[in-house]
Amino acid sequence: MTMQSLDYRVVKQATEWLDEGRTVWLCTVLSTFGSSPREPGSLMVATAEGDHVGSLSGGCVEEDFLERLAAGDYSLPAVTVRYGDHGEGPSNPRVRLPCGGVLDVLVERMVANDENRAHCGQLLEAMVSGQVALARQVRLTDGASWFERSRCNGPRVRVNQADETVSIRVGALSRLILAGYSTVAEACASFAISLGYEVIICEPREEVIANARIPEGVRFEPVLPSLYISGDGVCTASTAVVAATHDPKIDDLAMMAAVKTPAGYIGVMGSRKTSQARAERLRRSGGLCEDEIRRIHMPIGLQLGSKTPAEIALAIMADIVRVKRARELNEL
């Protein structure tokens, strides 16, 4: 399975370094104020030798962190560091974030033992499966860490000052399932890979498969999309399902399957007239209720005036990101 998520690669690399007997420092963005390129919960891992994967900001924070790590800082099991605030606290006055931003980072020193290897392994599994909402708990006094059940919504990171613990919700990897191959689907796949999605294209039609160009890093499943989508655990709240073939046998069945899952975004390509006709088919032949039909974005994508496959794919992926970030259309 090809995983493009940066945070997944961070945890995977941390696990590999621990398996090699190396101590690692796992860094988690706790909070941001003002301008920041990465959100709370984002990860970076580093070793004392300066090897690192992931990022915390635009580069200045990473450079400073690695310099201080090489100098012997961060010997405690867990510590929080603030960048960009020049008042009291463990900040570095040399580092100024864009637009006066402030960044709080949790730094955990993880030695290569069975406990830490198992912990990172469980974190990887939670990111892949996404079937159970978990929160990673870290005690700041001694660096102890464990997992607890969590709600799927609300802030991803919570800091409890009273008992000096940090709670970091572990989300499933963002996944895009493309129901059927088309030039638009191909372009969507390329955009999604660059955005860190796990991408699956389902295409059962042999004549289409013969001429398909599957982008690198995309998993191809030669099955009817609706059957794949209906699979146990395939769709989570972090999954987007997109149909862009103009073939009702593919698109309609995919929509009928997707609305029965917890997928966070469901959309199908077509004009307003085509979408109205599809909605009627889904009511009459598919037996979908109004709430299920309202879950389907049709016509799909932001209204950008797109014409080419790449432009249409851009509009689709932009809308998926909008929904993922809980932004209303009138906020754009």
End of a domain among 170, 198, 220?
A: 170
- Give the pairing of strands 165-170 and 134-139: antiparallel
CA nearest neighbour of 11 among 155, 173, 149, 131: 173
Whether residue 30 contacts residue 38, with contact meaning beta carbons closer than 8 Å, is answered with no
pLDDT over threshold 80, residue 87? no
CA nearest neighbour of 324 among 262, 237, 234: 237
Rounded mean pLDDT, 110-130: 91
Residues of the domain holding 232: 175-331
Residues 6+ apart with CB under 8 A from 142: 77, 78
Cis (ω within 30 of 0) for the bond into 299?
Answer: yes
pLDDT band at 191 (very low <50, low <70, confident <90, very high): very high
Across the chain, mean pLDDT equals 89
End of a domain among 129, 152, 170?
A: 170
- Record the tokens describing residue 136, joined without a space: 């990673």
CA separation for the pair 54, 8 (Å, rounded)? 9
CA separation for the pair 110, 259 (Å, rounded)? 42
Rounded mean pLDDT, 215-224: 94
Q: Are residues 154 and 23 in the same domain?
A: yes
Q: Are residues 162 and 196 in the same domain?
A: no
End of a domain among 142, 170, 198?
A: 170
Asked if the structure places residue 243 within a domain, the reply is: yes
Q: Percentage of the chain surpassing pLDDT 90?
A: 69
Q: Are residues 193 and 287 in the same domain?
A: yes
Asked if the structure places residue 252 within a domain, the reply is: yes
Q: Are residues 239 and 102 in the same domain?
A: no
- pTM higher than 0.85: no
Q: How many helices (H) and strands (E) does the chain have?
A: 10, 15
Amino acid sitting at position 246: H
**pLDDT of res. 228:** 97
pLDDT over threshold 80, residue 306? yes
Asked if the structure places residue 1 within a domain, the reply is: no
How many structural domains are present in the chain? 2
Whether residue 54 contacts residue 81, with contact meaning beta carbons closer than 8 Å, is answered with no
- Three-state SS for 244? coil
CA separation for the pair 125, 121 (Å, rounded)? 6
Q: Are residues 207 and 302 in the same domain?
A: yes
Higher per-residue pLDDT: 325 or 72? 72
CA separation for the pair 102, 85 (Å, rounded)? 6
pLDDT over threshold 60, residue 89? no
**pLDDT of res. 98:** 57
pLDDT over threshold 80, residue 93? no
CA separation for the pair 34, 118 (Å, rounded)? 36
Q: Percentage of the chain surpassing pLDDT 70?
A: 91
pLDDT over threshold 60, residue 92? no
CA separation for the pair 252, 52 (Å, rounded)? 45
Asked if the structure places residue 236 within a domain, the reply is: yes
**pLDDT of res. 5:** 77
Q: Are residues 145 and 213 in the same domain?
A: no
Asked if the structure places residue 108 within a domain, the reply is: yes
Q: Are residues 145 and 187 in the same domain?
A: no
Q: Are residues 87 and 151 in the same domain?
A: yes
Rounded mean pLDDT, 286-312: 95
The tens digit of pLDDT for each residue in 267-288 reads 999 999 999 999 999 999 899 9
Asked if the structure places residue 130 within a domain, the reply is: yes
For residue 202, the surrounding DSSP H or E stretch is: strand 198-202
The tens digit of pLDDT for each residue in 224-283 reads 999 999 999 899 888 999 999 999 999 999 999 999 999 999 999 999 999 999 999 999
Q: Are residues 126 and 201 in the same domain?
A: no
Q: Which CATH number is 256's domain given?
A: 3.40.50.720
**pLDDT of res. 1:** 42
**pLDDT of res. 233:** 85
**pLDDT of res. 130:** 67
CA nearest neighbour of 29 among 157, 182, 187: 157
Phi, psi of 280 (to 5 degrees): -65, -40
Q: Are residues 253 and 276 in the same domain?
A: yes
- Record the tokens describing residue 306, joined without a space: 């797109």
Residues 6+ apart with CB under 8 A from 222: 202, 203, 204, 209
Q: Are residues 88 and 131 in the same domain?
A: yes
Q: Are residues 139 and 186 in the same domain?
A: no
pLDDT over threshold 80, residue 100? no
* C-alpha of 266 from chain center: 16
Higher per-residue pLDDT: 91 or 42? 42
pLDDT over threshold 80, residue 10? yes
- Minimum mean pLDDT range among 61-65, 73-77, 205-209, 284-288: 61-65
Asked if the structure places residue 299 within a domain, the reply is: yes
Asked if the structure places residue 200 within a domain, the reply is: yes
